[in-house]
Amino acid sequence: MKKHNFSAGPSILSEYTIKNSAAAVTDFEGTGLSILEVSHRGKEFVAVCEEARARVKELLDVPAGYDVVFLGGGASLQFCMAPFNLLNNKASYLDTGTWASNAIKEAKLFGEVDVVASSKDANYTFIPKDYKVGKDSDYFHFTSNNTIFGTEMRYDPDCDVRLVCDMSSDIFSRPVDISKYDLIYAGAQKNLAPAGVTLAIVREGALGHVERAIPTMLDYRTHIKKESMFNTPPVFPIYAALQTLKWYKDLGGLTVIEKINLEKAAILYDEIDRNKLFRGTVATEDRSIMNVCFVMNDEYKELESGFGAFASAAGMVGIKGHRSVGGFRASLYNAMPKSSVEALIAIMQEFEKQN
């Protein structure tokens, strides 16, 4: 039976990425060695890292004055690394979910944090709109996509201060105006590679302005200067990331990918809105195209476990919702084919007929 992987992360990868990465585990670039055992300073892997950084710049149209680095520690390390490097006195944060809240907690270790708006009281079912960012803030931080609750900011805000974004779960899902940002970071395990590497895109002019001493490993300038090779980087995830980046280019780039993503999300949301058994969980205008969250309508609540089992038997993997939301979550990352979304819709319709 074909499996349809809707897991929120680590998540689905393209067949292209899996096939090429698997081949490199056996023989990397004709070296007779596995990618799992080669030196990160060998010319073959140095070329991989350089090409991966170049392809990030190409796909996202990164302008001059920015650096691309691959780091360890996941996006959670960036929650402290960003304020360590950028927060001198005060920073502004938008609280739209669990990961935004975690970033706020870390930033408070380094200075004053102004939470400009929060949707926590509504269980993060919408993105706050009417808020102001103080011009005395060192930067404004937001999380573009909220995997647990299924909301997304699919635009690049205008801001009078430095702009920082956690794009872990929707990077490469649409074109981005990089010039508006001073720092973008993203864990790889949604739209890029296996877990273990984190991407950061940093404006050079944003660094070097804080008064504190920064530990060597937590200073972006360390990794920029050494071109992601200050210490041993996550070799295999970077190789896999390069395969994904090649695949994105072959697909036609981010404009094409965004169109595909919008189509996938639209047909699933249409079914949720049509089907008598289900309903969405967040404000319609803030619905994520990456993580589609839905629950049983109240009058059919007793069918929830039954649908979960029905979906699992039909090959749907990872659609159980996060415990803080309940219900179901279908993650439609870039590698998710439309055919899998159509398969999920078909079993939703079949379950409706049976009930």
The residues that are catalytic are: 99, 166, 190
| DSSP at 263 | H
Nearest CA-CA partner of 321 in 311, 313, 285: 311
Three-state secondary-structure class, residue 7: coil
Largest CA distance in the chain: 65
Residue 46 amino acid letter: V
Contacts 24+ apart (CB under 8 A), 266-269: 267/338, 267/341, 267/342, 267/345, 268/292, 268/330, 268/332, 268/341, 268/344, 268/345
Tokens of 211: 């008064």
8 Å CB contact between 199 and 223: no
- Show the beta-strand stretches assigned E in the chain: 4-5, 66-71, 90-95, 112-118, 139-143, 145-146, 151-152, 162-166, 183-187, 198-203, 278-280, 291-296, 316-317, 328-331
